[in-house]
A and B are shown apart, each in its own frame.
Chain A
């Protein structure tokens, strides 16, 4: 197994790392065993704490309270132990949670089925597929001129329509969707804000991630030239059952293809996330951020 190394850590501002010379080899031998580009650098290390180290603060205070006859031996009624919080990893999404469940719910609702091109978040994978087709697929536009391409949003229905208006009527009449159901997600233009936010994150993994059959790359290339479109997704947190298009979902974020206008919709997002424009989950991506799939060449 890997040879040990001996480190010493002095007071917080003053880190002194030494190899222990006569007893064991330095860490360089470890590194040579490991492949290039491997970012994992953990190795067990001994930690020496100077008497003024901050880790010792509470114990020192306790000692001095005892010396000054102020120490309470009986257990204090206030619990002082705290539990770690969870936080969403997506850069720019600063939401914090106190339970795992909240984290899961947040992530699954807001970051899972996200459109690579316009960063909109869809409640399910199927709706994401439909969205990408209808919004970002030029082939779709061409075919739609001649065929019924707009699928019914209700899973299992299977019907297709010539225009999104026809589909909407179908959904209202046949599937009893409410009249004011938000079919048409209006694009708003929030370029400025998005631009600034993106500068903060320095994403390095672009090359690794976007391994595709060429289509997605084009998309990515296109994207980086274009100004930001669309907007942060507005997913209102509804109580559960986001599987499929249940009526409690207010906003499927499907927009009629071709609609561009300023927003008359004053929806305030409760959560927003930002992903830099030059990041796309291409074919190599497994979940979450879907771009064009390889099948569409």
Chain B
């Protein structure tokens, strides 16, 4: 079965072919990045049997092909070893070329449908296993061939057998993103209501929750989802997903991961986030982040936690952007959220910089219009930690500086505190950075600081700030030049010109 706590072992067992594994990984990663750029990022999942370690194709291609044909013929004649033959067939169908061979046989799908709906339970299970292998095919022609079975799979979602239902779900999940035709058909056949009632009825069966979550995420990720799928789902789906969001300590993170990704697709595609806010999405996601933040701060982060943190952060970030300022405290309700976010930043900075960047983004949205959260960052003494992050690039420092700017923008008193915490010296460094956005933001922050506390000008000059601003006047970016000139003229020089002259002579 597919379980997060087992995947860890799986990765470890690749042993001496690990270099091969790594290069395959890199290739695949590049392929995925390109697919994302083409807006065609899609993945399939393979549910392994209990006795399997990893999805290896053990048979040679040719013999697999032969096996498939001969097995198919045997099955057509309905012999006494039907179950064994079916099992062998499902194993054979692991091989992609065998998959092609199979669907080219006339009436192959007809056979499977017959077995799927027959009276023999074992045969039904093996038939759906065959279909699952076919759904995982890398060949584009295979999935459409499986279309005739989908109404049956949907019907079986309300059945009772866990393993069987799981296979139905993953098969559907693999099929739906393959083509628009398939997606359309599935929607017409009522996949959304079927998944919803399955989730509702089976919410205590975490294996099925994970499977439903996966299938839903495949649908919601579709590029037309925003028009075709999401509007219909917004009334009932969010609260359902939220109800199964909290991870179970024994079962593991996997079901929560799937549901969180569904919520992310909903929040990032939905035009109006307020519907989701009404369901308490922000409240729940932020509480979950707070508890995860606590765990992480205690040094107990679980493997794979980042897979859950990522979609949660995105939900919170986007929901915050839809939340009216006055409602913010009611919706978030926890002044520990900034602390949790800072803990996540520190914990993942070196290992997952992209996650750190997303965390900084959420902090920006949290502090943009809220005096309370800006104040919390100061009171909880989180600012020094943020200042220490200013050297790091890849978008981290620009976002963090934005957060600090949000704080400075609120009140004069906050500027004073920021200066006491050493922001000025940090700015002397950021003003020299190569990234123009960093420099421009730094100038903006400096302006706010000197406007709020003119006495800080002296300190700034002592730290060599004046020649720095002068140099910026010669930068090729107009935005920077204008700011530097303005600062010199209105804030820096008139304050201390006489002092400076004497210092220089």
Contacts and interface: CB of A to CB of B under 8 A. Distances in A.
A103 B432 CA distance: 8
Interface string B47-67: 000000011000000000000
B321 interface: yes
Nearest to B391: A83
A120 B391 CA distance: 33
Contact of A70 (B25, B318, B438): B25
Interface stretch (B125-133, B153-161, B290-298, B360-368): B360-368
A246 interface: no
B368 A81 contact: no
A208 B485 contact: yes
Nearest to A88: B471
A87 B434 contact: yes
A26 B400 CA distance: 25
Query: How extensive is the interface on chain A, given as a class?
Result: 35 or more
A68 B43 CA distance: 7
A44 B368 contact: yes
Contacts of B393: 82-85
A105 interface: no
Interface in B343-395: 349-351, 353-355, 357-358, 361, 364-365, 367-369, 371, 391-395
A80 interface: yes
A32 B398 CA distance: 28
15 contacts: A24-B325, A39-B486, A42-B445, A44-B406, A46-B321, A65-B28, A74-B12, A74-B303, A76-B351, A80-B351, A80-B353, A81-B394, A203-B481, A209-B485, A279-B474
A42 B478 contact: no
Nearest to B310: A59
B361 A47 contact: yes
Interface stretch (B31-39, B201-209, B329-337): B31-39
A64 B489 CA distance: 53
Query: How extensive is the interface on chain B, given as a class?
Result: 35 or more
A27 interface: no
Given A1-B410, A40-B486, A45-B368, A287 B504 contact: yes
Contact of B489 (A1, A91, A208): A208
A107 B102 CA distance: 71
Contacts of B473: 205, 209
B479 A39 contact: yes
A61 B41 CA distance: 9
Interface string A66-101: 111111111110011111111111111000100010
A190 interface: no
Contacts of A1: 371, 409-411
Interface of B: 7-8, 10-12, 24-25, 28-29, 32-33, 36, 39, 41, 43-46, 54-55, 214, 221, 257, 261, 264-265, 268-269, 303-304, 306-307, 310-311, 314, 317-318, 320-322, 324-326, 349-351, 353-355, 357-358, 361, 364-365, 367-369, 371, 391-395, 397, 402, 405-406, 409-411, 429-430, 432-435, 438-439, 441, 443-445, 447-448, 466-467, 470-476, 478-483, 485-486, 488-489, 493, 497, 500-501, 504
Interface stretch (A50-58, A165-173, A217-225, A256-264): A50-58
B493 A286 contact: yes
Complex A-B, nearest 10 residue pairs according to Cβ-Cβ distance, in ascending order: A58-B354, A87-B434, A42-B444, A51-B268, A39-B482, A4-B369, A48-B321, A44-B368, A67-B43, A46-B321
B433 A70 contact: no
Given A70-B29, A85-B434, 11 more contacts: A47-B361, A49-B268, A49-B314, A57-B36, A59-B358, A63-B310, A64-B32, A67-B43, A82-B394, A281-B470, A285-B470
Contact of B470 (A45, A76, A286): A286
A52 B361 contact: no
Contacts of A64: 32, 41, 43
A23 B483 contact: no
Contacts of A286: 466-467, 470, 493, 497, 500-501, 504
Contacts of B438: 84
Interface of A: 1-2, 4, 6, 8, 20, 23-24, 37-52, 55-76, 79-92, 96, 100, 103, 107, 111-112, 125, 200-205, 208-209, 275, 279, 281, 284-288
Contacts of B268: 49-51, 56
Contacts of B36: 52, 57, 60-61
B237 to A, nearest CB: 16
Nearest to A83: B391
B32 A65 contact: yes
Contact of B478 (A50, A202, A209): A202
Contact of B472 (A44, A55, A89, A112): A89
Contacts of B257: 66
A47 B360 CA distance: 11
A125 B467 CA distance: 14
B392 A82 contact: yes
A47 B32 CA distance: 26
Contacts of A83: 391-393
Contact of A81 (B269, B350, B432, B475): B350
Nearest to B261: A63
Contact of B307 (A6, A63, A87): A63
A124 B137 CA distance: 73
Contacts of A203: 474, 481
A125 B504 contact: yes
Contact of B395 (A6, A51, A55, A79): A55
